[in-house]
Amino acid sequence: MVACLSYTPDPLPRTNPFPCSRLQFGSQEALLSLNKCTNFKHIKQIYAKIIRHGLSHDQLLIRKLLRLCSSYGKMDFATLVFHQIQGPLTFTWNLMIRYYTINGCSQQALLLFNLMLSQGFPPDKFTFPFVIKACGAASTIDLGKVVHGLAIKTGFIGDMFVLNTLMDLYFKCRKVDCGCKVFEKMRVRSVVSWTTKISGLVSCGELDVARGVFEQMPTKNVVSWTALINGYVRNQPEEAFELFWRMNIDNVRPNEFTLVSLLKACTEMESLNLGRWVHDFAHKNGFKLGVFLGTALIDMYSKCGSLEDARRVFDKMQLKSLATWNSMITSLGVHGCGEEAISLFVEMERANVQPDAITFVGLLCACVQTNNLEEGQRLFKYMGEHYGITPIPEHLTCMIELYNRAGMLDEVCILENAMPSEPNDYILSALLRASKVYGLVNMEKFLYRHSGKVDSSAV
DNA sequence: TGCAGGGTCT
């Protein structure tokens, strides 16, 4: 968390180290160069040039640079650049807070806000939504309440963006009453205010209340329709489609978000025909096969039983995200195509896509499906040694299952070292299966050591 | 510079 802020870069020159340079490189040229940047190395070169030509005081230029660093996920370099600015404007502080949150560094965002205040830089109406979002991302409702108080004290609480973000924070932290209170106190409400309340209630499990709020909404747009549709996907997928038809009658055009929700509903219903209909609808209505829609289609086809269609979508996708690769690898694995799953993983590595823990869940599941202990052991080792990925319960469940099937219960016990303090139900089930089959006394002891939930009669 | 809805996991 403190990594970015405690990062101590080599000192950079604050003045032009090449005052006699004859090169013509002003702010305009620097901006043009930044606009043409295609890789991070290029950004660093331009920054060096900015320093050399004494342009580092130009905050417009620096903000552009920070935005590029953020888009490349290079927040360590952005931190270095930011701390070279003498007297950053509130605008620039705001952007840094926002970029930290976007890049998953919400703690750094909050630390930077604290630094901003302690150095006497005044927050403005833009600062608060960014900071409140950081509180939400860091799940710190207590700090969120402090920021709420500060927004009141500084007079920015009347801003609709601040109120909408606050409401969202309270709902995301399951403080339904506080979220509703913010909504009630709003003098003016936008479609975003209403939609924030609807989606907030839907995550808090208050679907009926959310429906009531939706019906009261003066103006509905595609986001509000999709928020409600999404609420029905898991437990009442048919109702999600009913709402979709109603939305069409109301002449609200669905977007990619809507179709992804519908595909999830198809998956819940295990309806390949309906899934094909959504795919066809997307095609006929000119939707591009983007990463979200494409990945949702792969998942739907796979879970509805058509691995061939899933693979066809995967091959057709021009742009693939990590989730896309993971979805296809998992699909191959659960359909018993273990070798193909591993081949696709090799292809993924060749494409320079960095795998994550979920990739290895898919791969290890593929090994379980095909009873391939040797490959499972190799991948489990490779995951840690090559990628530094720490095993999560899903990996351990697969490994226990593999060792269990091979009758290697001593190996199961070795996994104890990697076991979380409170193994989840999947792990306990896998261990129980192992214990039940082989009736090992040691296993019973092991289970008792890790959970008070297990009844000895079940073993 | 801003606020709402989406994909991969035993």
Look at residues A210, A224, A281, A213 and name the one whose alpha carbon lies nearest to residue A252: A224
Distance A256 CA to B3 C1' (A): 20
Residue A16 has what pLDDT? 44
Query: pLDDT band at A302, cuts 50/70/90?
Result: very high
Residue A14 has what pLDDT? 46
Residue A393 has what pLDDT? 85
Residue A439 has what pLDDT? 54
Query: pLDDT band at A447, cuts 50/70/90?
Result: low
Three-state DSSP at A187 gives coil
Three-state DSSP at A217 gives coil
pLDDT higher than threshold 80 for residue A449: no
Which own/partner contact pairs does A6-15 have at CB distance under 8 Å and 24+ positions apart? A7/A76, A7/A79, A7/A80, A9/A79, A9/A80, A9/A83, A12/A51, A12/A80, A12/A84, A13/A51, A14/A56, A14/A84, A14/A86, A15/A54
pTM for this structure? 0.86
Tell me which residues from 21 to 80 on chain A have a beta carbon below 7 angstroms from nucleic acid strand B: none
Residue A456 has what pLDDT? 41
CB of A369 lies under 7 Å from some atom of strand B = no
Can you read off the two tokens belonging to residue A428?
């306990």
pLDDT higher than threshold 60 for residue A421: no
Question: In terms of residues, how long is chain A?
Answer: 459
The answer to whether A186 and A209 have CB atoms below 8 angstroms apart is no
Distance A255 CA to B7 C1' (A): 14
pLDDT higher than threshold 60 for residue A265: yes
Residue A236 has what pLDDT? 95
Q: Identify the residue whose Cα has the smallest distance to the C1' of B6.
A: A257
Among A177-181, A188-192, A441-445, where is mean pLDDT lowest? A441-445
* Cα–Cα distance list, A245 to A225, A248, A249, A264 (Å): 11, 5, 6, 16
Query: pLDDT band at A4, cuts 50/70/90?
Result: very low
> What is the rounded average pLDDT of the residues A191-201?
97
The answer to whether A426 and A398 have CB atoms below 8 angstroms apart is no
> What is the rounded average pLDDT of the residues A85-92?
95
Residue A330 has what pLDDT? 97
Residue A407 has what pLDDT? 81
Q: What is chain A's mean pLDDT, rounded?
A: 89
Tell me which residues from 391 to 420 on chain A have a beta carbon below 7 angstroms from nucleic acid strand B: 392-394, 397-398, 401
Three-state DSSP at A145 gives helix
DSSP state of A456: G
Query: pLDDT band at A3, cuts 50/70/90?
Result: very low
Report CA Rg, chain A.
Answer: 26
Provide the positions of strand B that have an atom within 7 A of a protein CB: 1-10
pLDDT higher than threshold 80 for residue A19: no
Residue A411 has what pLDDT? 75
Residue A430 has what pLDDT? 72
> What is the rounded average pLDDT of the residues A251-255?
96
> What is the rounded average pLDDT of the residues A207-220?
96
H helix runs in A139-286, sequence order: 141-154, 160-172, 176-185, 191-203, 207-216, 222-233, 237-249, 256-269, 272-284
DSSP state of A20: T
CB of A95 lies under 7 Å from some atom of strand B = yes
pLDDT higher than threshold 60 for residue A200: yes
CA A75 – CA A334 distance, rounded (Å): 37
Can you read off the two tokens belonging to residue A74?
């290079």
Query: pLDDT band at A252, cuts 50/70/90?
Result: very high
> What is the rounded average pLDDT of the residues A79-105?
96
The percent of residues in chain A predicted with pLDDT above 70, rounded, is 86
Q: Identify the residue whose Cα has the smallest distance to the C1' of B10.
A: A394
CA A269 – CA A100 distance, rounded (Å): 39
Which own/partner contact pairs does A207-216 have at CB distance under 8 Å and 24+ positions apart? A207/A231, A207/A232, A207/A235
Predicted confidence (pLDDT) per residue in A360-398, tens digit: 999 999 999 999 999 999 999 999 999 999 998 899 889
pLDDT higher than threshold 70 for residue A453: no
